[in-house]
């Protein structure tokens, strides 16, 4: 399937959707505190999205029950909101999608709850810095596999490993489109589809400590590493404009 090239007006619609994602993540980070339940956080995120005139696109997507993926500690992605309470020393992944005027926004952060260990700070920094490092590296006519190579090298050089079998993705008038962008290289960097002006996609490094092999919890959604250790996840949505990447999911 061909990777869509977006017109400027479409990119502007994606930017508006993305900004609401960024604002929601900022709002949650400023208001989450120890003692809250994951369901309370989910409700707070859903209400904020609606207040901005958008729809929480994750709710009901493929059968997901929440509006916010709340991935706590060892859960890397797709954490289901429950009545579990967050505590000082936890780390929490927040992944948010919205739909506005037929176009989608999608981004994620992992945040510390109160004071966390140096090891957890390094884990969070790895996913965040891998994301921004790779975004800065994007140029038109690169291969998408080069992004996978850059992501994996950054993660491994920091002493961690990427989660396997899950990936970044294209986005537009559907929440998930071509291409798939793993956080690890399969094949050679100079193979496959090339990045073109007008393409819009999400990069989302998912970082594990010892093993990148995924396990899915009994809820059929929450994905963790089979090493059972804490994980982190960051994501931004970008558009390629004038040969470079512009982040669409900033507040």
How many whole angstroms separate alpha carbon 216 and alpha carbon 222?
6
Strand order of the sheet with strand 206-208? 161-162, 206-208, 232-233
Structure tokens at 76: 């890397």
Please report, to the nearest 10 degrees, the dihedral formed by the alpha carbons of residues 114, 209, 249, 177 taken in order: -150
* pLDDT value at residue 47: 98
Q: Which residues contact 119 (CB under 8 A, 6 or more apart)?
A: none
User: SS3 helix, strand, coil % of the chain, rounded to 5?
Assistant: 30, 30, 40
Write the pLDDT tens digit of every residue in 184-236.
999 999 999 999 999 999 999 999 999 999 999 999 999 999 999 999 999 99
pTM: 0.97
Half-sphere exposure of 215 (CA within 13 A, CB side): 14
How many whole angstroms separate alpha carbon 128 and alpha carbon 249?
14
Ordered by start, the domain boundaries in the chain are 8-247
How many whole angstroms separate alpha carbon 198 and alpha carbon 243?
9
Structure tokens at 192: 């496959």
Specify whether domain 8-247 bears CATH 3.90.230.10: yes
Low-confidence ranges of the chain (pLDDT < 70): 1
* pLDDT value at residue 1: 61
Half-sphere exposure of 111 (CA within 13 A, CB side): 20
């Amino acid at each position: 399937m061909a990777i869509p090239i977006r017109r400027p007006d479409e990119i502007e619609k994606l930017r508006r959707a993305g900004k609401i994602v960024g604002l929601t993540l900022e709002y949650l980070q400023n208001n989450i505190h120890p003692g809250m339940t994951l369901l309370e956080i989910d409700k707070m995120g859903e209400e904020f999205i609606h207040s901005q005139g958008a729809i929480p696109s994750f709710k009901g997507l493929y059968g997901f029950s929440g509006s916010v993926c709340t991935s706590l500690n060892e859960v890397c992605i797709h954490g289901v909101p429950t009545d579990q309470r967050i505590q000082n020393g936890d780390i929490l992944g927040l992944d948010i999608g919205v739909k506005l005027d037929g176009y989608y926004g999608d981004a994620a952060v992992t945040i510390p709850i109160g004071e966390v260990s140096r090891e957890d700070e390094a884990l969070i920094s790895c996913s965040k810095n891998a994301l921004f490092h790779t975004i800065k590296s994007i140029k038109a006519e690169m291969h998408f596999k080069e992004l996978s190579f850059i992501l994996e090298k950054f993660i491994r050089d920091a002493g961690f490993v990427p989660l396997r079998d899950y990936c970044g993705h294209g986005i537009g008038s559907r929440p998930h489109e071509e291409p798939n962008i793993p956080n690890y290289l399969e094949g050679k960097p100079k193979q496959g589809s090339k990045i073109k002006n007008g393409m819009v996609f999400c990069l989302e490094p998912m970082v594990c400590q010892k093993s990148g092999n995924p396990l899915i919890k009994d809820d059929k959604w929450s994905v963790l590493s089979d090493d059972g250790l804490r994980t982190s996840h960051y994501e931004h949505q970008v558009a390629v404009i004038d040969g470079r990447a512009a982040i669409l999911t900033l507040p």
